[in-house]
Structure 1
Amino acid sequence: MKKLYFNYLNTFKGLSKEVWWLALITLINRAGTMVIPFMSLYLRESLHFTLNDVGWIMTCFGLGSVVGSWLGGKLADKIGFYKVMKTSLFLTGLLFIALQFVDTFWGFCIGIFLVMLVADTFRPAMFVALNTYSKIENKTRSVTLIRLAINLGFSAGPAVGGLIITSIGYSGLFWVDGVTCILATLLLVNVLHPKKARVQDEIKVENPESVFSDKAFWVFFVGMFVFGFIFLQYFSTMPLYYKDVHHLTELEIGLLLGMNGFFIFLLEMPLISWLEKSKHTKEFLMFFGLLLTGLSFVVINLTGWVGILIVGMLLMTIGEMIAFPFSNAFVMERAKKGNQGEYMAYYSIAFSMSHIFGHNSGMQLIDNIGFDNTWNFMIVLSGIGVLFLFMLMQIVKKEKNSSSEVGINPSINLEKTV
């Protein structure tokens, strides 16, 4: 047991102190984002919107995320990640606090669009910061540490959120969200030195390649869009399934969602460290992660036993643990210094587009064909995503073979440019 404990600690060695600070800032920020998992319940039960209304509001959520991700990438390349992160966190805090006072359909559509526009400028900037502060050999583990912080916060957030709802109501969630964003801003200002950030931001490469000329990236983009589409069901339509079909309380839903974050916190870093040492490529691991996520929808349709919800959550969690870190590392390797923001923006946009179509489509599907048929739709869609990631494996394999023929190691070439 002692050896296992020290082996776990060793998976964290070698990461820079700036990466640790980024992880702590992310932890504080994500611990407060407890409104999001309960958004569909809040809109339906507190504001009494229909499922159709909820679907369109979540589409506005996704549209704001797309615009914010694109803008965040542009601004990170233009003015530097530090300014973008600082401004995004602070304004997001204020907007979350204000959102609780909006109670009309169109007002909430506009409000959630603005919140996500500002909030998601943070993501590409944070990934550029991570790329800047991380050593080449530690990029995947650095991404995993950030995800660990996200999920540690997320494991606590829904559980605490359930308690807040049952004690003081939904308005308390908005206050906690807002205050934690502002606290994360204060920490960022005090621990990440802007002078160092500016020096790193000034490193540019003349005539960098555009993301639009990278064929493999766009096949990857479609695969990640599909992954995001089905993954997000667990945080929009699935809570409704838990409540309406299995009659779970808000607290039980929060604990079930929190289990996802807890297992990621406990197992993801050792799992990623072990998989990095395996012979499997990043492309194969993304493929396998999406496959597991699709299987999670298969199992919940097999039986009405409430325990199957835990099995489905575990399958999705393992798929997520594998797919997210290696997809992020894949993009970092392909991104050239000078247009990192562009690459990371479009990586974020793949998931933002999932927000646009995933939430709304899920709501419309369960409203029209029921939960079971909606999960069948997600199973078919996951199969399409798996095919795209299989195509990606073949394209990257051809790239490596072509580079080998002329004596170039593509992984070394890409890593040196990051």
Structure 2
Amino acid sequence: MLKAAFQRYINNFRGFSREIWILTFITFINRAGTMVLPFLSKYLKEDLHFSYSQVGWIMVCFGTGSIIGSWLGGKLSDKIGFYKIMIFSLLVSGMMLFAIQFITSFIGLCIGMLLIMVVADMYRPAMFVSLGAYAKPENRTRALTLVRLAINLGFAAGPALGGLIIMNIGYRGLFWVDGGSCIIAILIFWIKVKEKKKTAFRDKEHPGEILTHSVFKDKPFWIFLFTCLVCGVLFFQVFTTIPLYHKEQFNLTELQTGLLLTMNGLMIFFLEMPLVSYVERHKISKIKVVAAGCLLMAVSLYLMLVNNWAGVLVIMMLFMTFGEMFTFPFSNSVALSRAPKGHEGRYMAIYTMSFSLAHILSAKVGMEIIEYYGYQMNWFFMGTLGLLGMLSGIWVLRLVQKENKLL
């Protein structure tokens, strides 16, 4: 019984090209190396002694750079190809990470963080487009899921490794390791993967996948982006307001908060790929799955209204994790499937930007609500926002069904 279940799990990882596996491996190295991120606010506060307001502004520059980088990366992927953008992004951002540790002024760090994120986040849309090029159309969602597993494993390993580096070398060590991991990852990619000149992407031979003249005229895509934005805002609460709430309301230690996040990572590692395979085998609408994921995230945040029992934090994390598994791999796939030939980069750039914007909004809106109205109001607001996101997902589903009837 156990052997059969294990075999079924392993079967979900079959059928990928060599390039997809290499891409997954370098994504893992890159994400495990992004250990500066969880410790950035601590570094700015404790090592450089900036005020909360200054730390906030540096983080806004960080998010703004991410939005600009995502847009540029997508646009340039369409113009000169994803391969060149990926190599440029990781190579240059690695070198910039070496340099930024020597900047200690407030204005200097605002500019430095903005520039570094512009270059670093050009990688993301380019990487999504590369998945479209190197994966077969029938396993594209599974390929996206495989890369997400690498990202999650990298994020699980990174903070622990980062903590050890800080204890032994100090914060400066993070910049050296992060920069080095970017450069090593992209050199492996450059040596092992050759540029794919032509991609067999969507065209009129593929019925059911819509061709539009401009991304700005694609109404279902923009409504779908609102659903993605909402899912991002809700999910990023896990990294912004929820750890503070754990401490203030239930007096949880950093280790206990970390264990809840580890549970999230392990569930994704074991369950996400089988879930994606099930949805693909049974041809369930991906938009429907994303809308259901948004509902699960809304329920997760409504559960936080129970503030007198710590066990609710585990149940809340279960709902949030399933919401994440329903939302992120399938929303990637929906966004990519909307893109006409030659516009893949532009679509994936705007899709990626929606999550960069969600990152800024999640922290800023959540913190403001908590400051003026308290935690309970924040959970109620976020849960209700999740219901709106689900409704916009259902609206997109109706619009796409109508489009398909017209074909």
Q: Aligned residue for 2:118?
A: 117
Tell me the distance in 2 between the aligned counterparts of 1:162 and 1:275: 38
1:312–1:19: structure 2 CA closer, same or farther, 3 Å change rule? Answer: same
Of 38-47 and 274-283, the range deviating more from structure 2:
38-47
Tell me the distance in 2 between the aligned counterparts of 1:162 and 1:248: 19
Aligned residues: 400
Alignment of 1:13-412 (within 5 A): 13-194=14-195, 197=196, 199-200=197-198, 209-278=213-282, 280-403=284-407
Instruction: Please say if residues 155 and 260 of structure 1, whose CA atoms lie closer than 8 Å, have aligned partners that are also in contact.
Output: no
1:182–1:345: structure 2 CA closer, same or farther, 3 Å change rule? Answer: same
Tell me the distance in 1 between the aligned counterparts of 2:312 and 2:143: 33
Instruction: Please say if residues 71 and 350 of structure 2, whose CA atoms lie closer than 8 Å, have aligned partners that are also in contact.
Output: yes
1:52–1:297: structure 2 CA closer, same or farther, 3 Å change rule? Answer: farther
**Letter in structure 1 aligned against 2:186:** T
Q: Measure how far apart 1:393 and its partner are.
A: 1.5
Secondary structure of the residue aligned to 2:13 is coil
1:383–1:208: structure 2 CA closer, same or farther, 3 Å change rule? Answer: closer
Tell me the distance in 2 between the aligned counterparts of 1:328 and 1:94: 29
Q: Measure how far apart 1:40 and its partner are.
A: 3.8
Tell me the distance in 2 between the aligned counterparts of 1:345 and 1:48: 35
- Unpaired segments ≥5 residues, structure 2: 205-210
Instruction: Please say if residues 159 and 251 of structure 1, whose CA atoms lie closer than 8 Å, have aligned partners that are also in contact.
Output: no
Q: Aligned residue for 1:4?
A: 5
Q: Measure how far apart 1:186 and its partner are.
A: 1.5
Secondary structure of the residue aligned to 1:301 is coil
Of 158-167 and 115-124, the range deviating more from structure 2:
158-167
Tell me the distance in 2 between the aligned counterparts of 1:313 and 1:336: 37
Instruction: Please say if residues 51 and 367 of structure 1, whose CA atoms lie closer than 8 Å, have aligned partners that are also in contact.
Output: no
1:251–1:190: structure 2 CA closer, same or farther, 3 Å change rule? Answer: farther
Q: Measure how far apart 1:339 and its partner are.
A: 1.0
Tell me the distance in 1 between the aligned counterparts of 2:229 and 2:375: 22
Q: Measure how far apart 1:265 and its partner are.
A: 1.4
**Letter in structure 1 aligned against 2:198:** Q
Instruction: Please say if residues 16 and 134 of structure 1, whose CA atoms lie closer than 8 Å, have aligned partners that are also in contact.
Output: yes
Instruction: Please say if residues 208 and 336 of structure 1, whose CA atoms lie closer than 8 Å, have aligned partners that are also in contact.
Output: yes
1:137–1:327: structure 2 CA closer, same or farther, 3 Å change rule? Answer: same
**Letter in structure 2 aligned against 1:87:** F
Q: Measure how far apart 1:41 and its partner are.
A: 4.0
Instruction: Please say if residues 37 and 235 of structure 1, whose CA atoms lie closer than 8 Å, have aligned partners that are also in contact.
Output: no
Q: Aligned residue for 1:412?
A: none
Q: Measure how far apart 1:91 and its partner are.
A: 1.6
TM-score under structure 1 length normalisation: 0.88
Tell me the distance in 1 between the aligned counterparts of 2:102 and 2:232: 30
Over the matched positions of the two proteins, sequence identity in percent amounts to 50
Instruction: Please say if residues 202 and 340 of structure 2, whose CA atoms lie closer than 8 Å, have aligned partners that are also in contact.
Output: no
Of 268-277 and 41-50, the range deviating more from structure 2:
41-50
Of 142-151 and 278-287, the range deviating more from structure 2:
278-287
Instruction: Please say if residues 159 and 254 of structure 1, whose CA atoms lie closer than 8 Å, have aligned partners that are also in contact.
Output: no
Tell me the distance in 2 between the aligned counterparts of 1:250 and 1:146: 28
Tell me the distance in 2 between the aligned counterparts of 1:20 and 1:92: 23
The ranges of structure 1 where at least 4 consecutive aligned residues each deviate by more than 6 angstroms after the TM superposition are: 201-208
CA offsets 1:352-371 (integer angstroms, 9 cap, x no match)? 22123222223333333333
Tell me the distance in 1 between the aligned counterparts of 2:98 and 2:311: 36
1:230–1:51: structure 2 CA closer, same or farther, 3 Å change rule? Answer: farther
Instruction: Please say if residues 155 and 262 of structure 1, whose CA atoms lie closer than 8 Å, have aligned partners that are also in contact.
Output: no
**Letter in structure 1 aligned against 2:294:** L
Instruction: Please say if residues 133 and 201 of structure 2, whose CA atoms lie closer than 8 Å, have aligned partners that are also in contact.
Output: no
Tell me the distance in 2 between the aligned counterparts of 1:182 and 1:389: 39
- Unpaired segments ≥5 residues, structure 1: 404-418
CA offsets 1:177-221 (integer angstroms, 9 cap, x no match)? 222111111111111113xx2x22698989972211211101001
Q: Aligned residue for 2:208?
A: none
Aligned-residue CA RMSD (Å): 2.4
Tell me the distance in 2 between the aligned counterparts of 1:372 and 1:168: 40
Q: Measure how far apart 1:323 and its partner are.
A: 0.6
Q: Measure how far apart 1:50 and its partner are.
A: 4.2
Tell me the distance in 2 between the aligned counterparts of 1:203 and 1:9: 28
Tell me the distance in 1 between the aligned counterparts of 2:38 and 2:111: 19
Tell me the distance in 2 between the aligned counterparts of 1:170 and 1:313: 30
Q: Aligned residue for 2:207?
A: none
**Letter in structure 2 aligned against 1:370:** G
Instruction: Please say if residues 159 and 255 of structure 1, whose CA atoms lie closer than 8 Å, have aligned partners that are also in contact.
Output: no
Q: Measure how far apart 1:224 and its partner are.
A: 0.9
Tell me the distance in 2 between the aligned counterparts of 1:268 and 1:51: 37
Q: Aligned residue for 1:413?
A: none
Q: Measure how far apart 1:395 and its partner are.
A: 1.0
